[in-house]
Amino acid sequence: MAYYYPEPSRTFNEFLLVPCYTSEKCTPDQVSLKTPLVKYRKGVEECPIELSIPLSSAIMQSVSDDNLAVALAKEGGISFIYGSQTIEDEASMVKRVKNNKAGFIVSASNLTPDATLADVIDLKAKNGFSTVAITDDSTANGKLLGIVSSRDYRISRMSMDTPVKEFMTPIDKLVTAPENTTLHEANDIIWDNKLNSLPIIDKDGHLLYFVFRKDYSQHKEYPNSLIDAEKRYIVGAGINSRDYEERVPALVEAGADVLCIDSSEGYSIWQKRTIEFIRNKYGDKVKVGAGNVVEKDGFKFLAECGADFVKVGIGGGSICITRATKGIGRGQASAVIEVAQARDDYFKETGVYVPICSDGGIVHDYHMTLALAMGADFLMLGRYFAGCDESPTNKVVINNQFFKEYWGEGSNRARNWQRYDLGGSKSLSFEEGVDSYIPYAGPLHDNVEMSLYKVKSTMCNCGVTSIPELHEKAKLTVVSATSIVEGNYHDVTLKTNT
């Protein structure tokens, strides 16, 4: 007969953390939120990629593009660029993130001297950069002839067909630096000469990089930025179990630091084949996460296939209707608790620690702390980031209030049939996600700062100052329906502004 779980399927709302002794070291400023992103031999080696904060953005059209990826990397988290687009477009997004680094930046805006002011304006509108390199062949590495910045022209007083060569700052009036210049030396040159940008050129005058004053300021403003050895932002990218043979090489070449198979259910032969392809072609050099699963067998399967991390959760997202449509899934709290135990058991057996990501079910900020306490190494959030300024969706006004659009990958709008691949026809037979609006939340930085301060504060109440310590020492209790009511304001009449 069928197997019946002895315990009901529980959500984060059904748990509370029980406070433990708070010592003098337990203050929010002493709490570290560093956490591993990919597998490693814990206690023997350092994790190859470690997050500064335990947050990642969902692999969704309405959430993770290059703009949000840069904003989240500045905070110390990671975005996974959505894969439900052409291979070329996804690779381009990855490249834009890698070029937008806090250091030496490959020029993204380039024209020849024969271009016009109209071309400059169009280019600025297209990519948002105000500094345009003028090279002999309009490429990022052509011979540098000059620069156009916003101070070189005035739209109200110039004709749109004015050639660039008539108003650009020519090379003989530019301060430049040779290719062996260090970042520290470049910043000194910028400050000594009161520059906004410094071109780095080779011995033949070809443009290599720009160093921008704003990047120095941003590095000081965002000390937890997630960057690689070349000071480029770290970024992930979503893949599927259909076109991985073409998509994976393109994303690796574009510079993606880690990949993740985007699927509603990961305990499958399709994910095994995808991981095998990556391991056969790249060995362990290319990092790839897999999922989603909701119990121990699924985790062990993906870990043995070679997954670098495993995502946990089916049907818990705010726009997901998989449970209502297909009747599969599990309460997110129950899923995380069981998979976390499986991860620990796997570590004891093999010495390899495979991080788990709690994906879905986060409604309130305190749910973040609960998920981490239950064993999650990091969290994947969709609705949370979709409401921020940096997400790719439109901001709209409904009943005099601001909202942003938010839709699921299983909705007719996204039509991401690859995410629900069962090896059959190439189509979306029925919806597993909805198209919706969510309240506008403002800047990503402000939201993340406030949410994580709450997480740190709660960790202090639990007597811990790190996520591994939280895993080990947290005490959780199941709450009754009555105590959930008791936990909010009750038996009072709220004051209202009139």
Positions marked active-site: 320, 419
Q: Return phi, psi of residue 124, to 5°.
A: -65, -40
User: Angle at the Cα of 137 (from 136 to 140), degrees rounded to 5?
Assistant: 100
Dihedral (CA of 209, 215, 216, 222) sign: negative
Compute the distance between CA of residue 256 and CA of residue 241 in angstroms, rounded to an integer: 18
CB neighbourhood size of 96 (10 A) = 19
What is the C-alpha separation between 412 and 434, in angstroms, rounded? Answer: 8
Tokens 């979306």 sit on residue: 428
Q: How many CB atoms lie within 10 A of CB 165?
A: 15
| 265/269 Cα distance (integer angstroms) | 11
Q: Which two tokens stand for residue 96?
A: 């834009």
DSSP 332: H
Tokens of 475: 């005490």
If we measure between CA atoms, which residue out of 192, 184, 232, 201 comes closest to residue 69?
232
Tallying the residues shown for the chain, one arrives at 498
DSSP, collapsed to helix, strand or coil, labels residue 204 as: coil
Helix (H) or strand (E) holding 485: helix 481-486
* Tokens at 24, concatenated: 């003098």
At 170, phi and psi to the nearest 5?
Answer: -70, 165
CA distance 168 to 158: 13
> Which letter, b or e, does each residue of 242-259 get, where b requires 16 or more Cβ atoms within 10 Å of its Cβ?
bebeebbbbbbebbbbbb
Percentage helix, strand, coil for the chain under 3-state DSSP, each rounded to 5: 35, 20, 45
Q: How many angstroms separate the first and last alpha carbons of the chain?
A: 62
CB 366 within 8 A of CB 472: no
Residue 492's CB is within 10 A of a number of other CB atoms, namely 6
